[in-house]
């Protein structure tokens, strides 16, 4: 398990190096740090002097290494618009997005697992057919449309839930959380449903098809022949095996979900990373874009490493390979 962990971490670092290189290349190609600092009302000669002083005329590779050295210490540059370190801006906005993704993940886990198992056990039941049909519809409707429909129904027509913003927040050691006030939770409901609307049907379908396949295997047939209770066969024997591919896909999809927050946050005016990213694109705030990509990259890598470690816990064969 130890060797396995070390190897996964090494792979994670490699992925981060590649991401940082891509980010730097983008910034190098489209960004202009001089403008970021002095604006546009400075003469060309002064700009050139500043470029030389900042090392912007140095070879590409030495600039990259300098960028990497600063990035490791948490400095990816100043945001042109906020006049603050980009990472600070990102970290200030991150809790909103992470809470949204967290609540959506909880919704997905607690709904997709029971529904997926139900559909796998009773594939011909009318209820399973309805769930399967709905899931096709769910996958096909884009997030922003779901979001707008939710706002129309629950905010505009029924006046049940707020349609934008995060509501009342609690500050816990610098982390502004909406999970501990009623207003905050009410504000979370619609965005998190909208965000989970794409992944939820996918996971129901994934769990169903995996589990149906597992239920046909010899070891499940043997479990029946041992005279086990059906609940034990379904929830222990079949489900534990179903989990393996679901965990793998889940790790990748969690990253995708962070990307999907861009749409959800825009519709709900949710002050998180996705919203920040769209603003940064509009303002050509390249440093902030790069910082966003790096932070999302880190989250992606960390989540996937954790997922792989969990996978090792569930699947005994992986553990053995790791130790060899």
Partner 1 sequence: MEHLLELQNIVVRFALRFGDLTAVDDVSFTLDRGDRMGLVGESGAGKSVTGFSIIGLISRPGYIASGRILFEGTDLAHLNEEALRNIRGNRISMIFQDPMMTLNPVLTIGTQMTETLQAHMDITDEEAAAMAVDRLRMVHIPSPEKRLNQYPHEFSGGMRQRIVIAIALLMDPALIIADEPTTALDVTIQAEILDLLLELCATGKTGLILITHDLAVVSQVTDKITVMYAGRIVEMGSTDTIIHDPRHPYTQGLINALPGSRHTGSRLNQIPGMMPNLLTIPPGCSFHPRCPFMMDICTKQAPRLKYYKEHERQISCFLMENQNKGSI
Query: What is the C-alpha separation between 238 and 210, in angstroms, rounded?
Result: 9
Query: What is the C-alpha separation between 12 and 129, in angstroms, rounded?
Result: 41
Residue 324 touches partner 1, criterion: CB under 8 A: no
Residue 228 touches partner 1, criterion: CB under 8 A: yes
- Give the helix ranges, DSSP H, for the chain: 2-30, 33-38, 44-54, 60-72, 86-121, 126-140, 143-150, 182-215, 218-225, 230-232, 239-268, 273-282, 286-314, 316-323
Identify which of 162, 9, 169 has the alpha carbon closest to the alpha carbon of residue 95.
169
Q: Do the Cβ atoms of 76 and 86 come closer than 8 Å?
A: yes
Instruction: Tell me the window of 84-92, 111-119, 147-155, 223-231 that interacts with partner 1 (CB under 8 A).
Output: 223-231
| Shorter beta-carbon distance to partner 1: residue 84 or 230 | 230
When binding is defined by CB under 8 A, the residue of 29, 158, 227, 323 that contacts partner 1 is 227
When binding is defined by CB under 8 A, the residue of 21, 110, 222, 235 that contacts partner 1 is 222
Element (H, E) at 175: strand 175-177
Q: CA distances (Å), 70 to each of 63, 75, 78, in order?
A: 11, 5, 12
Residue 207 touches partner 1, criterion: CB under 8 A: no
When binding is defined by CB under 8 A, the residue of 240, 256, 269, 302 that contacts partner 1 is 240
Residue 181 touches partner 1, criterion: CB under 8 A: no
What length does the chain have?
Answer: 324
Count, residues near partner 1 per rule CB under 8 A: 24
When binding is defined by CB under 8 A, the residue of 3, 52, 229, 235 that contacts partner 1 is 229
- Provide, rounded to whole angstroms, the least separation between the CB of residue 233 and partner 1: 10
- Provide, rounded to whole angstroms, the least separation between the CB of residue 248 and partner 1: 14
Residue 182 touches partner 1, criterion: CB under 8 A: no
When binding is defined by CB under 8 A, the residue of 223, 294, 299, 301 that contacts partner 1 is 223
| Shorter beta-carbon distance to partner 1: residue 53 or 229 | 229
Residue 232 touches partner 1, criterion: CB under 8 A: yes
Q: What are the residues whose beta carbons fall under 8 Å from the beta carbon of 64, sequence distance 6 or more?
A: 21, 24, 28
- Helix, strand or coil, per DSSP, at residue 170: strand
Residue 170 touches partner 1, criterion: CB under 8 A: no
Query: What is the C-alpha separation between 194 and 263, in angstroms, rounded?
Result: 10
When binding is defined by CB under 8 A, the residue of 2, 41, 59, 218 that contacts partner 1 is 218
- Provide, rounded to whole angstroms, the least separation between the CB of residue 209 and partner 1: 18
Residue 237 touches partner 1, criterion: CB under 8 A: yes
| Shorter beta-carbon distance to partner 1: residue 9 or 220 | 220
Angle, nearest 10°, between helix axes 273-282 and 239-268?
A: 50
Residue 317 touches partner 1, criterion: CB under 8 A: yes
Q: Which chain residues interact with partner 1 by CB under 8 A?
A: 217-229, 232, 236-237, 240-241, 244, 314-317, 320
């Amino acid at each position: 398990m130890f060797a396995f962990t070390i190897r996964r971490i090494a792979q994670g670092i490699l992925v981060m190096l590649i991401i940082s290189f891509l980010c730097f290349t983008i910034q190098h190609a489209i960004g202009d740090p001089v403008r970021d600092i002095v604006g546009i009302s400075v003469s060309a000669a002064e700009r050139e002097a500043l470029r030389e002083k900042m090392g912007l005329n140095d070879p590409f590779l030495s600039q990259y290494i300098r960028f990497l050295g600063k990035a490791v210490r948490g400095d990816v540059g100043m945001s042109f618009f906020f006049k603050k370190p980009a990472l600070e801006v990102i970290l200030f906005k991150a809790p909103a997005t992470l809470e949204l993704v967290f609540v959506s993940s909880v919704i997905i886990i607690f709904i997709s697992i029971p529904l997926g198992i139900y559909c796998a056990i009773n594939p011909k039941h009318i209820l399973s057919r309805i769930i399967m049909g709905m899931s096709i519809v769910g996958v096909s409707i884009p997030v922003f449309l779901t979001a707008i429909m939710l706002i129309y129904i629950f905010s505009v027509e029924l006046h049940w839930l707020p349609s934008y913003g995060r509501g009342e927040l609690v500050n816990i050691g610098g982390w502004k959380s909406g999970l501990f006030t009623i207003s905050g939770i009410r504000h979370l409901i619609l965005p998190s449903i909208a965000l989970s609307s794409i992944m939820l049907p996918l996971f129901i379908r994934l769990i169903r098809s995996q589990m149906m396949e597992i239920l046909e295997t010899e070891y499940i047939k043997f479990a029946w022949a041992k005279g086990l209770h059906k609940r034990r066969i379904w929830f222990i024997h079949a489900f534990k095996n179903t989990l393996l591919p679901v965990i793998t896909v889940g790790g990748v999809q969690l990253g995708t979900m962070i990307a999907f927050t861009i749409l959800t946050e825009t519709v709900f005016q949710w002050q998180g990373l996705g919203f920040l990213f769209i603003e940064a694109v509009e303002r050509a705030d390249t440093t902030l874009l790069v910082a966003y990509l790096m932070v999302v990259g880190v989250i992606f890598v960390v989540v996937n490493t954790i997922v792989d470690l969990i996978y090792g816990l569930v699947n005994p064969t992986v553990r053995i390979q790791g130790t060899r």
